[in-house]
């Protein structure tokens, strides 16, 4: 008979995984307490969080959420890096930490579309963040506008310079 704690844990897992737009699943075996604290701090600074759930309870929660099964990723110590916003941020944060700490092994993840493998998480981490993409888009949109303003301003500026030159010439002849 399942305990009340397990029911509550499954409810928490359903809440966290169900509301996340993306999460990365990693094996944290080999990380010491200090390194886990550093990972939690990095995730928090990025606006994400890291949770550790029992694999058995996670499988139950995933089944209740009617999400794709992730049984191949739920083996051994499993950490879930969760993001409610930008999937690129969570992937980048985990991958940056994994570069410095080889003990952290990315197993796979979940993005709005479904379950992804470790290679897809790595590819996602290589993408620019949402803010960088928006900045590039705005720059691209402004570039033609700036060029158009310069082109339209050119004849007006030339006309003004010509009028000023004529006025200067007449002033010099009158003097």
Per residue in 7-51, pLDDT tens? 898 899 888 888 888 899 999 998 899 999 999 999 999 889 999
Distance CA(29)–CA(162), nearest Å, equals: 76
- What is the structure's pLDDT at 37? 94
The predicted structure's pLDDT at residue 156: 73
Average pLDDT over residues 102-124: 85
Sorting pLDDT into bands at 50, 70 and 90, what band is 173? Answer: confident
> Quick one: CA torsion of 100, 90, 105, 29, rounded to 10 degrees?
90
DSSP the chain: ---HHHHHHHHHHHHHHHH-SEEEEEE-TT--HHHHHHHHHHHHHTT-EEEE--HHHHHHHHHHTTPPP-TTT-SSS-EEEEESS-HHHHHHHHHHHHHH-TT-EEEEEEETTEEEEHHHHHHHHHSPPHHHHHHHHHHHHHHHHHHHHHHHHHHHHHHHHHHHHHHHHHHHHH-
**Global pTM value:** 0.70
CA dihedral sign, ordered 123, 75, 79, 100: negative
Superfamily of domain 4-127: Ribosomal protein L10, N-terminal RNA-binding domain (3.30.70.1730)
Q: Tell me what pLDDT residue 40 has.
A: 92
Q: Any idea which residue has 């949770």 for tokens? A: 51
């Amino acid at each position: 008979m399942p305990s009340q704690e397990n029911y509550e844990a499954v409810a928490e897992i359903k809440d966290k995984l169900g509301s996340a737009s993306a999460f990365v699943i990693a094996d944290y075996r080999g990380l010491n307490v200090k390194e886990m604290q550093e990972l939690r701090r990095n995730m928090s600074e990025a606006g994400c969080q890291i949770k550790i759930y029992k694999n058995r309870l996670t499988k139950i929660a995933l089944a209740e959420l009617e999400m794709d099964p992730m049984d191949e990723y739920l083996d051994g110590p499993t950490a879930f890096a969760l993001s409610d916003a930008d999937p690129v941020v969570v992937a980048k944060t985990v991958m940056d930490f994994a570069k410095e700490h080889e003990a952290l092994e990315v197993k796979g993840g979940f993005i709005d579309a479904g379950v992804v493998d470790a290679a897809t998480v790595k590819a996602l981490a290589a993408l620019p963040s949402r803010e960088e993409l928006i900045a590039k888009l705005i720059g691209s949109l402004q570039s033609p506008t700036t060029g158009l303003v310069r082109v339209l301003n050119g004849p007006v500026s030339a006309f003004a310079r010509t009028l000023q030159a004529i006025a200067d010439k007449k002033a010099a002849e009158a003097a």
